[in-house]
Structure 1
Amino acid sequence: MGKAPEAHLPRIDWDRPWLQAWREPGQRVACAVGAGVALHQALNAVQPAPVCFAPQCSLPSGEAYESFIARTRLCPTREGSHDFFNGLCWMRFPQTKCKLNQLQDAEIAAAGIAPVRGPVRDALTVFDENAAFLSAPQPLWDALIARDWHSLFITHRALWQEAQLVLFGHALLEKLLQPRKPITAHVYLAQPAMTSIAELDAWVAADLSAARLATKPFAPLPVLGVPGWWPENENFSFYDDSLVFRPPQLS
């Protein structure tokens, strides 16, 4: 007896502000999975991607996941929300995902698979799993870097109307299926205005390099603090939680 359609993906509220960039292909894939189609088949049917999605069993024992993708252009895919969002990332950010795969494959080829990933592979994994892209007026970025939460979310709150934040990391998107205040993105500054996802994708892919990632060019951002993303942050006491909105570390 086959699994019930609901077994593969949880219910997804596509009206969440952080899912706007993912809604169109995501709903179509989720609908197919809900009708009983295997996730890898649903992803392949919905929108072209630079990889072909394949069952997880396609990955040979002992071969690194990223190396296998680079060698075959097949992306092993497990049922469930984690690889669902990973598949959507390949569709919406094909150039960025290809660049991340190229950098991972080069690091593996140079150093092999070791218990400790090293700074570049560690940063690549953080980026792939948890990154978000922010295009914002300079005062917002300065406040984010300084972890000056009062300035970021209260003093300069009106400037968020000029900002754009796009979530990228598939683990981050998965975690936000059950929103919790501590969920934090690793934000990567996107310099140009984001006129389209395709333009953002091209810019990020061109900007990424092993040397840049080794510096861990991220800033932590508790995403439910973003104005308009969560009703509770309309009460500014929301930001008084020092376990979430942590002060900068003293050197």
Structure 2
Amino acid sequence: MRYVAPAREAVDPVVFTHAPLSDWSEYGSWLQWPCWPSIDELNARWPSGSHERFVAQTRGLLEDGLHYEERIATRGLIATREANWHDLFNAIVWLRYPQLKRALNRQQMMEIAQVGRRERSRPQCAQTHFDEAGVIVVVKEPRLLALWDVHDWHGLFWRHRDAWLDGSISVEVFGHALLEHALTPGKLLVGKALAVMAEDAQSTQAVACITDAIAEGQWLRDPLELRPLPLSGISGWHAGNEEESFHRHAACYQPLREGRRYPPPLAL
């Protein structure tokens, strides 16, 4: 069933105090004030010299005949529906991660050149999945990756609960659809993850590593490269996960499909 975001006035302000939305406090006025930010307000946050800008998605704009990604690549125009949660979250992700967004756009353009505007290749599907629901995960301990590899969710999120608090494994949310879904309290969130293995790294380094790998065509060539990560299992991300029973029966915890294997993480 397609997700329908709540009306702006119906959003419980508490959701902005919990992950993942609490990590976007620099855009708090846009997210929490009664009025939607204007296109001009969004554009005012671009660094000087940026190629892109947000533009209202109108019928006139769409009549240019360009694919959404082509419009960004050739004209720097990001079509944005006004008073729309999905597109507002897309805008703030662009502002925080412009280089990663540009890398995805370039890869999309390469695929459009190969298959045309009406078809979708497997790389395009992978790129879209990551754009919508992507998370970047930094893993510092191999034993945690081993649990993740076999979908041992009880082990990853309950037996090693402290690992999510002490930095042994950490998550950076990139997908704007994930942020939109987080507007609904109690919703079970599952990210599409790319992993980085590093003994000591900052999130900015991991993002740069992922950006380079995507830009060079090393990753996001197939949707099966993406690892599912039930974000609702992380301490503080869902009220129910304080009980062990959650980690044995939660609907977001799916077993590993027979024959499914994940590519090794990038090493940093």
Conservation of the 8 A alpha-carbon contact between 1:146 and 1:248: yes
Partner SS, residue 220 of structure 2: helix
Return 124-133 or 201-210, whichever deviates more.
201-210
Cross-structure match for 1:73 = 76
The alignment status of 1:153 with 2:160, answered yes or no, reads no
Conservation of the 8 A alpha-carbon contact between 1:29 and 1:46: no
Partner SS, residue 146 of structure 2: helix
Structure 2 unmatched ranges of 5 or more: 1-5, 260-268
Q: Which has the higher helix share?
A: 1
With over 3 angstroms needed to count, the CA separation of the structure-2 counterparts of 1:100 and 1:9, relative to structure 1, is farther
Residue-by-residue CA offset, 1:122-153 (whole Å, 9 max, x unaligned): 00100100101111222222211210112111
Conservation of the 8 A alpha-carbon contact between 2:86 and 2:176: yes
* Distance in 2 between residues matched to 1:242 and 1:10, nearest whole Å: 26
Partner SS, residue 133 of structure 1: strand
* Distance in 2 between residues matched to 1:172 and 1:249, nearest whole Å: 23
Cross-structure match for 1:191 = 197
Residue-by-residue CA offset, 1:80-104 (whole Å, 9 max, x unaligned): 1101110011111111000000100
Using the TM superposition, give the Cα deviation of residue 194 of structure 1 relative to its aligned residue in structure 2, in angstroms.
4.8
The alignment status of 1:169 with 2:171, answered yes or no, reads no
Structure 1 unmatched ranges of 5 or more: 1-5
1:44-193 to 2 correspondences below 5 Å = 44-48=43-47, 50-57=51-58, 58-79=61-82, 80-115=84-119, 117-136=120-139, 137-160=141-164, 161-162=166-167, 163-192=169-198, 193=200
With over 3 angstroms needed to count, the CA separation of the structure-2 counterparts of 1:188 and 1:178, relative to structure 1, is same
Conservation of the 8 A alpha-carbon contact between 2:186 and 2:239: no
Report the TM-score, using the length of structure 1 for normalisation: 0.86
Q: Percent identity, please.
A: 31
Larger RCO (alpha carbons 8 Å, 6+ apart):
2
Cross-structure match for 2:24 = 22
- Output the amino acid matched with 2:99: Q
- Aligned pairs, number: 241
Conservation of the 8 A alpha-carbon contact between 2:158 and 2:247: no
Cross-structure match for 1:220 = 228
- Output the amino acid matched with 1:127: F
2:243 counterpart (235, 245, 248): 235
* Distance in 2 between residues matched to 1:50 and 1:94, nearest whole Å: 10
* Distance in 2 between residues matched to 1:184 and 1:9, nearest whole Å: 26
With over 3 angstroms needed to count, the CA separation of the structure-2 counterparts of 1:100 and 1:184, relative to structure 1, is same
